[in-house]
Amino acid sequence: MTAASTKRTSLAVVLAAGESTRMKSSRSKVLHPVANRPMIAHVVDTLAGAGISEVALVLGRDAEKVAAAAAHPSVESSVHIQTERLGTAHAVLAAREAIAKGHDDLIVVFGDTPLITAATLEAARAQLADGADVVVIGFRTADPTGYGRLIIEGEELLAIREHKDASEAERAITYCNGGLMALNGYKALDLIARIGNANAKGEYYLTDIVEVARAAGGRAVAVEAAEAELTGCNNRAELAFIEKLWQERRRREMMVDGGVSMIAPETVFLSWDTEIAGDVTIEPNVVFGPGVRIESGAVIHAFSHIEGARVAAGAQIGPYARLRPGASVGEGARVGNFCEVKKAEIGPGAKVNHLTYIGDAFIGARTNIGAGTITCNYDGINKHVTQIGADAFIGSNTSLVAPVSVGEGAYVASGSVITADVPDDAVAFGRARQENKEGRAAVIRERNRALKDARGKSGA
């Protein structure tokens, strides 16, 4: 945050009242997630990061849900309903009451631009602090077709010329309008009120404020942002593209700034709040849902899915493992292939290596859970807890019918169904005694063949 921005009062107007018809969705466009977080929540979080403490939400469809998604602990927000669609300038005026309070800086952003960065907004605010009345956030692109061009002379922004109105020379300009603006908060209402609607659609365009401000003796400038930052969303294909850009940015931050190793980063998908410490290795095709923290030195093997879970230092997950919400894997522990852990604590050094389900459980340090073990935690109505002490050994193909506990150092024989507590250092057998019936197999085969032949003759 710049020194200038910390001393100045600020208000952001977030335009999010569109009907989102091109999304063909049952909910507002800005509620659609990027990295498992509503688009508008990304925008408000960035505003907070740029030192903006008050936000006016201009809403229409799903107003209550959008306002809830935009809630931020560091930002005071107000809701303003836009009932008519008469252009961007008219939309900003829906928040007239908030603007009229008077702020040094007024920032106008869209609720569907979740890639904008705090650094860009701070750069715009710094220009306001330096005396500009209008600051347009622009970008450069190899193909400017369809975008409004920024007409610059020296350091001054003279106008924003729409593509259809631009001359051949102006169409050659690659510096384009990104739609986001910063305005002198004390002059904003007066300048917007001077914008007319003498155009084919009869609408009030905020882009006209550049020439309005200059005509009133004010100064307009532009600040440049990366093209990706200003990417907006109108349909599902654009939503997927924004997700792609967000993931690329976050992966790079983790690898370059955070010391995380990703063998095939393009196949790793992060959530907005994923925390991964340095010296973690992530193999290909790993998905992180919300609420994940991975500590230093852990290895996440290929094709694993982790959500709402903690993985301690030096632990190994996967391949093909699933950690569900409430899973906590201790230091140096292992959760291996085709294992699922839910709302369970796996102690330091414990091993859950093969084809196993652990739910609503506590597994002690250094305990070994054999292949095919399941905690039977659900009785159809309630969930029950399984507790296993340290240094225990659970044999393969064991069913632990909760609520049940297995003591420290205890052994459970393979193939057991455990329905009662096992004391410390005990060996538990929960299976029927084996019996061999000599010659019985031949009798069963003959019976089965006779049944098959009978069905064939009857046409069954």
- Domain residue ranges in the chain: 3-230, 236-428
Tokens 């990104």, residue? 178
CATH number of the structural domain 236-428: 2.160.10.10
What's the pLDDT at 460?
Answer: 61
Active site residues: 354
Residue 248 C-beta-side C-alpha neighbours within 13 Å: 9
Task: Give the percent of the chain with pLDDT over 90.
Answer: 88
- Whether 81 and 59 have beta carbons less than 8 Å apart is answered as yes
Please write the tens of the pLDDT for every residue from 263-319. Answer: 999 999 999 999 999 999 999 999 999 999 999 999 999 999 999 999 999 999 999
User: Which helix (H) or strand (E) covers residue 96, if one does?
Assistant: helix 96-99
C-alpha to C-alpha distance for 5 and 135, rounded to whole angstroms: 15
Grade residue 6 by pLDDT with cuts at 50, 70 and 90.
Answer: low
Superfamily of domain 3-230: Spore Coat Polysaccharide Biosynthesis Protein SpsA; Chain A (3.90.550.10)
C-alpha to C-alpha distance for 95 and 79, rounded to whole angstroms: 8
Residue 188, phi then psi, degrees to nearest 5: -60, -50
Please write the tens of the pLDDT for every residue from 171-218. Answer: 999 999 999 999 999 999 999 999 998 887 888 999 999 999 999 999
What's the pLDDT at 1?
Answer: 55
Pairwise pLDDT comparison (329 vs 454), residue with the higher score: 329
Residue 35 C-beta-side C-alpha neighbours within 13 Å: 24
